[in-house]
A and B are shown apart, each in its own frame.
Chain A
């Protein structure tokens, strides 16, 4: 069930993208989101798409995993592109009743489809190539300046990594509780929406109770292993920027400059 979703999973490998500094990857991803929505003509769209394809190809993750994460959003892509198709301005190319398709609408549909697909590919590339620990480590390091404002940076990072660790465990537990309730004759599949929602209560209550008990035990286990907050902690895998990070920054820099130049000198297509 939920476990089959590929989106957000780590795929262990030793590719160039895997070895990039997770902080670099996060910063680049943030910049990338901005730039993908600043593409207003076909040349800049092509440049950012090429950049995405380059990263996906270098990640060393089989394409079927990317395809799996694309499958989840295919409906959203279809609906948004259809809406955009009929909402274009300008001279209609084809018209029937209140529906009309314009060149502008077609362009919009193409842009929105490619943007969403690229976004999903890039975020999958980020999560496939970065282990949850690396990710939280990167977030902790990037947010470190906030510590001056007494923002609990380490605590938040620790909570995130624990949450990520226990997602599969809690899913397994949900499955077990569901089976136990089914064995006693509860029915999750039939009836109206209120009946189905109500059928979930006997799952959620034991799940919550056991989650709290688990949390208590985890805290004990962490204390047994001398956990005492973030002060004086070291990391086994210390992360640092290296040449490949600067090269990828440079590539992204080129893409950003390209997009900006295209926006200045070329006619916008949408």
Chain B
């Protein structure tokens, strides 16, 4: 079994038993996340991707189906805290995740809850802040930081718990382009250098392109999944569900439609330039 496994998960924000026809936020989703993977989940607002995120650390429990984290069933109440220790969840609004008035005290909040020894907390806080590049700001007040910096502090707060996987629910949705790239490069670094398992819920296609694997959701179901190359070459399918594709893939798709012979679909600007050079040669 994979590190995280979802089996036919169904969830509704209303009571399914009394109202069998209630709309389902998640409707029969099965997926898995391996250790060390960087998975992106994309889809429209209301497609169920945030609901999936909250299932991964037992914040929500499925109405039917099962979620297993490292062999533990999330519906087992005795395991809730073990699961939250293993899978950390970062939310969208950085302001509402920081609970202390000083950056380092906020990062210490998680390990303090777990009853870790003070010296060990100090070590964890310092290393978590260094990992997200916010060590110099450790004595600042959170409200004086920029959005991207706040979100990085929130990530550090989760890292200090020493999870094996971090799940981020649209962490860049409220940030400006600078903040977005700060957060994204932090996540990539954590994944590449520390082998952290990352599940990124997003609606930005250019963020999804950076992942190892992309899961596309629509209407509470999984539409398609695969490597970014595989997913974004299905331009027609994505368009049919009104989802964007990266600009370079879009360009190639239109060229193809105009009768130009193109090879593989490029996912970033540099690959796109190469592909165009090929075409023009």
The chain A residues found within 8 Å of chain B, CB to CB, are 10, 12, 131-133, 161-162, 164-165, 168-169, 172, 214, 217-218, 220-228, 232-238
Q: Tell me whether A217 and B108 are in contact (CB under 8 A).
A: no
- Min CB–CB distance A11 → chain B (angstroms): 11
CA distance A172 to B57 in the complex (A): 32
The 3 closest A-B pairs by CB, nearest first: A236-B108, A217-B96, A221-B97
Looking at chain B, what size class is its interface with the partner chain? 35 or more
* Nearest CB in chain A: distance from B157 CB, A: 6
Q: Are B105 and A236 touching (Cβ within 8 A)?
A: yes
Is B117 positioned at the interface, with any CB of A under 8 Å from its CB? yes
Is the CB of B122 closer than 8 A to any CB of chain A? yes
A221 touching B113 in the complex, CB below 8 Å, given contacts A161-B100, A236-B125: no
Shortest beta-carbon distance from A60 to chain B in Å: 15
Which residues, 62 to 109 on B, are CB-close (under 8 Å) to A?
81, 84-85, 88-89, 91, 93, 95-102, 104-105, 108-109
Q: Are B112 and A234 in contact (CB under 8 A)?
A: yes
On whether the beta carbons of A133 and B105 are closer than 8 Å, the reply is yes
Q: Tell me if B26 is interfacial: C-beta within 8 Å of chain A.
A: no
**Cβ-defined contact, A234 with B115, below 8 A:** yes
Tell me the smallest distance from the CB of A73 to a CB of chain B, in Å.
25
A237-B84 contact, Cβ under 8 Å, with A218-B99, A220-B91, A223-B59: no
Q: Which residues of B contact A (CB under 8 A)?
A: 57, 59, 81, 84-85, 88-89, 91, 93, 95-102, 104-105, 108-118, 121-122, 125, 139, 141-143, 154, 157-158, 161
**Bound-state Cα–Cα, A217 to B91, Å:** 9
Q: Which residues of B contact A217 (CB under 8 A)?
A: 91, 93, 96-97
By beta carbon, the residue of chain B nearest A165 is B101
Residue of A nearest to B85 (CB): A226
Kindly state the separation between the CA atoms of A227 and B106 in the bound complex, as whole angstroms: 13
B143 neighbours in A (Cβ, 8 Å): 168-169, 172
Q: How far is the CA of A131 from the CA of B138 in the complex (A)?
A: 14
Give the distance in Å from the alpha carbon of A233 to the alpha carbon of B110 in the complex.
10
Q: Is the CB of A222 within 8 A of B99?
A: yes
Chain A residues whose CB sits within 8 angstroms of the CB of B113 once the complex forms: 225-228, 233
Residues on A with C-beta less than 8 A from B88 are 224-225
* A224-B89 CB under 8 A given contacts A161-B101, A165-B142: yes
A162 partner, pick from B99, B111, B115, beta carbons under 8 A: B99
Chain B contacts of A232 at CB under 8 A? 115
Besides A227-B109, A236-B111, 9 other CB < 8 A contacts?
Answer: A217-B97, A218-B97, A218-B99, A224-B59, A225-B84, A225-B88, A225-B113, A228-B113, A234-B116
How close is A235's CB to chain B, nearest CB, in angstroms?
Answer: 6
**Cross-interface CB contact of A224 among B57, B112, B114, B118, cutoff 8 Å:** B57
Residues of chain A within 8 A (CB-CB) of B139 are 12
CA distance in complex: A222, B154 (Å)? 11
- Tally of A-B Cβ pairs under 8 angstroms: 97
| Nearest-Cβ distance from residue B241 to partner chain A, whole angstroms | 29
Known: A224-B59, A226-B84. A10 touches B115 (CB 8 A): no
Q: Given A164-B101, A225-B161: A236 and B121 within 8 A (CB)?
A: yes
Find out whether the CB atom of A234 lies under 8 angstroms from the CB atom of B96.
no
> Which A residues are in CB contact (< 8 Å) with B104?
236
Contacts of B111 in A (CB 8 A): 234, 236
Which residue in chain B gives the minimum CB-CB distance to A225?
Answer: B110
A234/B118 in contact, CB under 8 A: yes
B contact residues around A220 at 8 Å (CB): 59, 91
The answer to whether B102 and A131 have CB atoms under 8 Å apart is yes
CB < 8 Å neighbour of B96 from A12, A131, A214: A214
- Assess the A218–B96 pair: CB atoms within 8 A: yes
Q: What's the nearest-Cβ distance from chain B to residue A185, in Å?
A: 28
Contacts of A223 in B (CB 8 A): 59, 84
A218 to B142, CA, bound (A): 15
Q: Are A225 and B109 in contact (CB under 8 A)?
A: yes
- Provide a sorted-by-A list of 17 A–B residue pairs whose CB atoms are within 8 angstroms: A10-B101, A133-B100, A133-B101, A165-B101, A168-B141, A168-B143, A172-B143, A217-B97, A218-B97, A222-B109, A225-B161, A226-B84, A232-B115, A234-B111, A234-B117, A236-B108, A236-B111
State in angstroms the CA–CA spacing of A169 and B125 once bound together. Answer: 24
Residues of B within 8 A of A236 (CB): 104-105, 108, 111-112, 118, 121-122, 125
Provide the residues of chain B in CB contact with A222, threshold 8 Å.
Answer: 99, 109
Q: Considering the chains assembled together, what is the distance between the CA atoms of A211 and B118 in angstroms?
A: 33
CA distance A12 to B138 in the complex (A): 12
Q: Measured between C-beta atoms, what is the minimum distance from A135 to chain B in Å?
A: 10
Q: How many Å lie between the Cα of A224 and that of B96 in the bound state? A: 12
Question: Which residue of B has the minimal Cβ distance to A224?
Answer: B89
Q: Which of chain B's residues has its CB closest to A12's CB?
A: B139
Which residues of A have CB within 8 Å of B161? 225-226
Q: How far is the CA of A172 from the CA of B141 in the complex (A)?
A: 14
State A232–B114 Cα separation when bound (angstroms).
7
With most chain A CB atoms within 10 A of its CB, the pick from B101, B115, B118, B158 is B101
